[in-house]
Amino acid sequence: MTAPTMPLLRLLLEGTLPAGFEGRDWERLLGQARGGRLLGRLAWRLQAQGLMPQLPAQVRTALEASLRVLDRHRHEVRHELLAVREALQPLGQPVLLLKGAAYLLAELPPSRGRSFSDIDLLVPEGQLAAVESALMAHGWISEERQAYNQRYYRQWMHEIPPLRHVQRGSVLDVHHAIAPRSSRFHSPGDVLIADSLPIGASGFRRLQPVDLALHSALHLCLDGELDHAWRDLLDLHDLLGLLPGTDDEARAEALLARAAALKLLPVLAQALAPLCAVQPANALVHHLSRGLEVTLPGWQQQAPARWMCTALGLEADASAARRRRAATRLYWRAHLLRMPLHLLVPHLARKAWMGLRERFRTADPS
């Protein structure tokens, strides 16, 4: 995992061009942006700041090309959303868009320069079967053929197996909650749906601002794969700016109160630690940090927060080996947050056996 350098983070957060950059410096910076799925965000920021003319010609060409790709991607996603609406509108049930699709259709700040590979939906659990049937009737089918994996999704996860369109290849992840049933952070999706907001006249809904921020933090902590963690953290940074309230202290209180109600304070603390390190002068982040100190004393010194900062390259004296160890700890912590040990060990053993059996089955007899 390659951590973004401070020049890249300053570009992404502030639109400040690094001084004294030459060809190889820009080459490394663009490589970091690509590796973290941040190239589109970088291109959008530089274009919005009017800084494109000041860039070397090759850098400008690469960034302008990424913007053209993003425009095409946005068009394709909007087309798929029309097809999803056509499939689900007859059910008369609320359908929420999550993450990238919600950001795009609601034109929220994290959509700027963001691409994503699938469309995430959140529907009432009681309507899950009807939603799946309606989508299958319109061409989205499950490619998961293993009976064990089907049972695993439906018994323990917060979503059904992904559905892929037979002609267009678009992928839908249909959720009934934002954390697995087996997770200690699970709560019924109906709670979030009840407080959701309409996305204009699109027929879709989205999470309210405090829930958008908490879902972003939860996804970062439960995912375990940190290759694209900075994209999620920058999403969270943008979403914090949408919090309701008359001032930063009130906004922080609103988020902390909702996190406490949904029992998500630990994941909020883990996700907030890197933002505190990168933007110590940010007033909202400061109030959130102080508020967390009341309920989770010494939270920034607790292991998950320290591991996040180490793994993401925010400790100047941390060796590459130390960063890898921190990332490995976060990976296994994410597994344990999704599923307790007494369920996780048999599941991993079963998956390992299935993988070995498949390898032997497809091996060349020679």
Q: Kindly state the percentage of the chain with pLDDT values over 90.
A: 64
3-state secondary structure of 97: strand
More confident residue, 227 or 123: 123
For 162: left if phi > 0, alpha if psi spans -120 to 50, otherwise beta; the answer is beta
Per-residue pLDDT reduced to its tens digit, 110-122: 999 998 889 999 9
Per-residue pLDDT reduced to its tens digit, 67-92: 999 999 999 999 999 999 999 999 99
Per-residue pLDDT reduced to its tens digit, 266-290: 999 999 999 998 888 899 999 999 9
Helix intervals (H) in the chain: 6-14, 23-35, 39-48, 57-88, 99-105, 128-137, 147-156, 189-194, 209-223, 229-240, 248-261, 265-278, 283-295, 303-311, 320-338, 341-362
- Tell me the CA end-to-end span of the chain in Å, nearest whole number: 38
- Using 50, 70 and 90 to split pLDDT, how confident is the model at 1? very low
239 pLDDT above the threshold of 90: yes
3-state secondary structure of 123: coil
Mean pLDDT, residues 296-322: 90
Delimit the domains of the chain by residue range: 1-55, 72-206, 208-366
Of 200, 40, 186, 204, whose CA–CA distance to 122 is shortest?
Answer: 204
- Note the pLDDT of residue 274: 92
Q: What is the DSSP string of 61-76?
A: HHHHHHHHHHHHHHHH
- Note the pLDDT of residue 32: 87
- Note the pLDDT of residue 223: 86
Per-residue pLDDT reduced to its tens digit, 211-220: 999 999 999 9
Q: pTM of this prediction? A: 0.90
3-state secondary structure of 105: helix
336 pLDDT above the threshold of 80: yes
- Using 50, 70 and 90 to split pLDDT, how confident is the model at 22? confident
Of 45-54, 132-141, 144-153, which gets the smallest average pLDDT? 144-153
Per-residue pLDDT reduced to its tens digit, 174-203: 999 999 999 999 988 999 999 999 999 999
240 pLDDT above the threshold of 90: yes
326 pLDDT above the threshold of 90: yes
Which CATH architecture fits 72-206? 2-Layer Sandwich (3.30)
- Note the pLDDT of residue 4: 61
The residues, ordered by sequence, that sit 6+ positions from 264 with a Cβ below 8 Å of its Cβ are 185, 214, 217, 218, 258
365 pLDDT above the threshold of 80: no
3-state secondary structure of 329: helix
